[in-house]
Amino acid sequence: MPLSPTATRELLAQLGHQPKRFLGQNFLVDGNIVRKSLELAGIQPGDAVVEIGPGLGTLTSALLAAGAEVWAVEKDRNLHLHLEETLLPASGGRLHLLEGDAVEQPLAGLPAARASAGFKVVANLPYAISTPWMDAVLSGPLPERMVLMLQQEAAQRYAARPGTKQFGAISVFLQAAYDFAPGHKVDAGCFYPRPEIESLLLHLVRRPAPHVFPPPVKTLIRACFQQRRKQIGGLLRGLLPDAGAAWLAQLAAAGVPPSARAEAIPVELWRALKV
């Protein structure tokens, strides 16, 4: 069970630790949300699970209790030491704890062989790293399921539809590989310290035929959205003078004119882009 707000404050005081806003350190203090996270992820004994920023170990403990094998990466040295002294010895070898940056270690050191056998991600994802971390994960290997605690703004950006201002490169990369299953709203009172905005448990299920964009294509798509006020025809003449014409013809066949902006192009058409 998670610690209560009072117990969380007391433990942090014992550790001499002040929650760091820049690391997104809002600690979960609601057991229902922990249970909901595991339920949405369909955690079974023996599952390989990646966790980002385990903090005080609330979610980690629940994953271990459910029989999962957990790979977790924690950037804060103080919290990493706390987990190393408390959860690690009692985990029976099922907790693999890495100290480091989740953007540089998006799968927390999960071995390639284990990743290829299938894995899940269950994490309370700090807002500051949510997009670069997701971008890194979407380079593959892809988790079969992700349940992510996110600030609503990030979740809305991921799920944004073409034609909206929130639709961007990360929306394209994510929606090409994952479907959105029903998630769960999370009140700010479920955390200590209480964040200023509400959060959401985002539930992502890998598509039957997920698409992973090659790095050059991702770079091109990002460039298109960075100049989102420009027409796609003019953009591609400058960014992709040779291969761009073939893709523009595909867009035209689908009813998308060269005067369209990047945000108006559906994900399935972005998947056809070649560099």
Q: What is the pLDDT of residue 44?
A: 97
User: Rounded to the nearest 5 degrees, what angle is found at the Cα of 100, between the Cα atoms of 95 and 103?
Assistant: 105
**Is 45 within 8 Å of 63 (Cβ atoms)?**
no
- Return d(Cα 194, Cα 17) in angstroms, integer: 16
Query: What pLDDT, in 10s, does the model give residues 107-139?
Result: 999 999 999 999 999 999 988 899 999 999 999
**Is 166 within 8 Å of 189 (Cβ atoms)?**
no
Phi-psi region of 92 (alpha: psi -120 to 50; beta: other; left: phi over 0): left
Taking 70 as the threshold, does the pLDDT of residue 2 lie above it? no
Same fold, 5-206 and 215-270: no
Domain boundaries along the sequence of the chain: 5-206, 215-270
Query: What pLDDT, in 10s, does the model give residues 66-114?
Result: 999 999 999 999 999 999 999 999 999 999 999 999 999 999 999 999 9
Q: What is the pLDDT of residue 4?
A: 76
Cis peptide leading into 193, omega within 30 of 0? yes
Indicate the pairing of strand 145-151 with strand 199-206.
Answer: antiparallel
What dotted CATH number matches 5-206? Answer: 3.40.50.150
- Give the start-end residues of each E strand in 68-207: 69-74, 95-99, 120-124, 145-151, 178-186, 191-192, 199-206
Query: What pLDDT, in 10s, does the model give residues 222-271?
Result: 999 999 999 999 999 889 887 788 999 999 999 999 999 999 999 999 99
What dotted CATH number matches 215-270? Answer: 1.10.8.100
Q: Order the strands of the 120-124 sheet from edge to edge.
A: 95-99, 69-74, 48-52, 120-124, 145-151, 199-206, 178-186
